[in-house]
Every structure is written in C-alpha cells, then in structure tokens.
Amino acid sequence: MDFTLTEAHQRMRTTVREFAEKEIAPLIPELDARGEHSTPMIRSMGKRGLLGICLPERYGGLGEDYISFGLACEELERVDTSARVVLAVHTALNSLTLLQWGTEEQKHRYLVPQARGEKIAAYALTEPGAGSDAAAIESTACRQGDHYLLNGSKFWISLADVADHFLVFAYTDKSKGHHGISAFIVERGFGISSGTIKGKLGVRAGNTGGLFLKDVPVPAENLLGQEGEGFKIAMSALDNGRYTLASGAVGIICACLEASVQYANERKTFGRPIGEHQLVQRMIAKMVAARDSGRLLYYHAGWLKNQGIRHTRETALAKWVNCNAAFEAANDAIQIHGANGYFSRYPVERYFRNARGTTIYEGTNEIHELLQAQYALGYRQDKPLRCTLPPWPSE
C-alpha cells in the first residue's frame, strides 16, 4: 500500500485548511468563551461540499475517498474540535450509515440534502443510563400499522438543537436483548424536542444536548435496515465516527506542536530560548512522533475503507492511540507554556480541554484497550455484515 498523498489529497488539505483558518478560527475564541455554537458555520461547510466529501456524486456528494475525509477532519480539528465534530456526527455517523444500510429511496430522500448541507443530521444512541453499554438503552419503538411510535430520551447528542434528521436507536423487541434493537430515520418535524447541555469542560463551541421522544410517529418506511439490525448498524456507524476521531486527533497534535514550537522559540529563560532546553525538546519530539505515527494509523484505516475491507479493529486502534497521544500533546503543550498555558489567552488551554473528551466519547480508552486485547487473544473476531460500506470509488 502506498500512503503518498495524491494531488487530490493535497488539494483537499489545502482547501480545508484555508477555509478553517479564514472562516472558523476567528469565531472560535468567542464561541468557546460563551459556550455557543454557530449554525451559519455549519451551513458554510455544507455550501463548500465538506459535509458530503466522501459521498457519491449521485447522492449530492463530492465523491472523494476516505483519505480525503480523514484529511479534512485533521485540518478542521487543528482549528477546533467542534468543527470536526460536525463531520463526525453529520457525515460519518449519519450519512455514511445511510449510505451503507439505506434503501435507494432513503438515500435520495435524505442523503442528497445532507450532502449539500441543506439539512443537518445527527446520531442518537447514547442515553442517560447507556453509554459504552449500548444494549442498555431503554427507548422503545412499537409498530402500529404503517408507522412506529417511539418513546424515550437520548443524552450527549451532538447537534441535538441543530439537526433536522436523526438516526435513532430503540428496542422493537426487548426480549431479544441487543438483537431486538432497530434503527430509525427520524425528522425533527415528527415531534422530537431537544435541550442544550450547558457547562461542558470542552468542545464548548459545539452544540450538545438531549432528545426527548414521546409517542413520536415514524413511518414504517423510515426503518433503516431490518428490525433487529439496529445494534449492528450502530456499531458499523461507530467505525466511521471513530475514524474521524483518529484523524481529528492528529489535528490537535499538530496544533499543539505548532503553538509549542512558536512559544519555545520566543520565550526565554536563563538568557536563552526555552526551545534549547532538552526537556522541552523531548516534549516537542514526542509531538512529532505522535503526529507522524498517528497519520500512518489513520491512513491505514482509510485505505482499508477505500478497499471496502472491514476495519473495525484498525480504526479502534487508531482512535485509541491517537486520542491518547492528543491528550498527552495538549498536556505537554501547557507545560511548555508554563503559567501562560493555564490562561485562555493561549489556545493550548482549549486544546487540553477538547482533547480530554476524545478519550471518552465513541468508546472510552478502557473499552478500546480491552478490544485490542480481545482481538489479540482470539476472543473477538469481525464477522461479515449483511451491508457493507461501498469501497471507493463508489459510482
């Protein structure tokens, strides 16, 4: 396999970096300080095709490959995690899942406006009592003629107050355990209400909230896949979401490295730049190693996605390793900045807060550590899915 970036990849990196630095970066300090999100920023991403980067052109996307998608996530998170989260939730968790499991009618009805950014989409699995243990959800869906009635609540849902479409998971048959979970495409207009979560440690410029469903009628044709396939669908979606985390984490590392190099060359102690001190050099060297090795991990996962090969283990490994490295890089960046690193005037304080969340959501560090051990011990193996994500190119 050749991980040399093509001209198309380089163009994507340059395009997204210029967009992020010009249109997103200036907004972030104030949004982060006020704990507010920017819907116009999301719409702007949609107008530039970023929300449909790796979706086929026939569904309104740009038709780029998954490496390009990863590069976009890296560049967006280099500016702020909240920007990358939009691609993670809207594109990876929702749109790519519809591409994999949806009918042609569902794809044309929902993917086309989502790829263009005309409609915003979200993913609703987590509940107040169900995080890593996804089978512990309590939401239900009861079939009544030509529709289902959904009841329950979801928590820690990114874009909860922004999204028009939601991928919602609920039990259609509780007696079957996780084999009784089903997935539904739910429009906000069907009767979903939402509320914002305030007081987050990080990702303050991104919208996060709860969803509330009380006898929400959902047409039977909005069932995604078959009844009882919801758990498989949810896990396949997480393969896509974790890919954005793995690539985005490299963006945090890059941001920490750039800020630390600049500061180390400007700040002087004992009559010389702190960059000349060996312990500072060691922390910077760790960031360089994490950046380069992290890229190889997510390039590999992206290459597997391009080939249409299942990549659950490889993506989980990249997510685990890269998110840990991002948190360490942010911690070291604060140390390099000294007291100034503890001050919001310098961005490394925000990088640290944002990086902390990546070690929790879409599978905690502990979950991913156990996964890798179980694969190595032979306790876990990936079985073929009924529906697979189309390889690239998918026209």
Residues 95 and 161 occupy one common structural domain: no
Task: Say how far apart CA 1 and CA 382 lie, in whole Å.
Answer: 22
Domain co-membership, 357 together with 238? yes
Q: What pLDDT is recorded for position 383?
A: 87
Same domain, 126 and 95: no
* pTM exceeding the 0.95 threshold for the entire prediction: yes
**pLDDT exceeds cutoff 70 at 92:** yes
Placement of tokens 């044309």 in the chain: 108
Same domain, 114 and 204: no
Residue 391 lies in a domain: no
Q: What domain range is 19 assigned to?
A: 7-120
Q: Which residue has the higher pLDDT, 31 or 1?
A: 31
Domain identity same for 188 and 242: no
Which whole number is the average pLDDT over 354-383? 96
Catalytic residues: 362
Examine the domain organization and report whether 275 and 368 are in the same domain: yes
Band of pLDDT at residue 286, cut at 50, 70 and 90: very high
Q: How many domains does the chain have?
A: 3
For residues 336 and 307, the answer to whether their CB atoms sit within 8 Å is no
- Residue 120 scores a pLDDT above 70: yes
CA–CA separation, 304 vs 80, rounded Å?
27
Q: What pLDDT sits at residue 384?
A: 86
**Mean pLDDT, the chain, integer:** 96
Residue-wise over 58-95: b if at least 16 C-beta within 10 A, else e?
Answer: ebbbbbbbbbbbbbbbbbbbbbbbbbbbbbbbbbbbbb
Contact 95, 43 (CB under 8 A): no
Cα–Cα dist 261/357, whole Å: 24
| Mean pLDDT of the 377-392 span | 91
pLDDT of 259-277, one tens digit each? Answer: 999 999 999 999 999 999 9
Looking at residue 61, its pLDDT comes to: 97
Q: Comparing C-alpha atoms, which of 72, 88, 103 is closest to residue 9? A: 72
What's the pLDDT tens digit per position in 221-236? 999 999 999 999 999 9
Is 112 a domain residue? Answer: yes
Is the pLDDT at 395 greater than 70? The verdict is no
pLDDT greater than 80 at residue 84:
yes
Residue 3: its pLDDT value, please?
87
Percentage of the chain beyond pLDDT 90 is: 96
Residue 164 within a domain: yes
CA atoms within 13 A on the CB side of 189: 3
Indicate which CATH number applies to the domain containing 56: 1.10.540.10
Q: What is the CATH number of the domain that holds 296?
A: 1.20.140.10
Last residue of a domain, one of 120, 153, 184: 120
Average confidence (pLDDT) over 324-351: 97
* 21, part of any domain: yes
Q: For residues 120 and 159, is the Cβ–Cβ distance under 8 A?
A: yes
> What is the CATH classification number for the domain harbouring 149?
2.40.110.10
- In this prediction, residue 240 has a pLDDT band, given cuts at 50, 70 and 90, of very high
DSSP class of residue 204? T
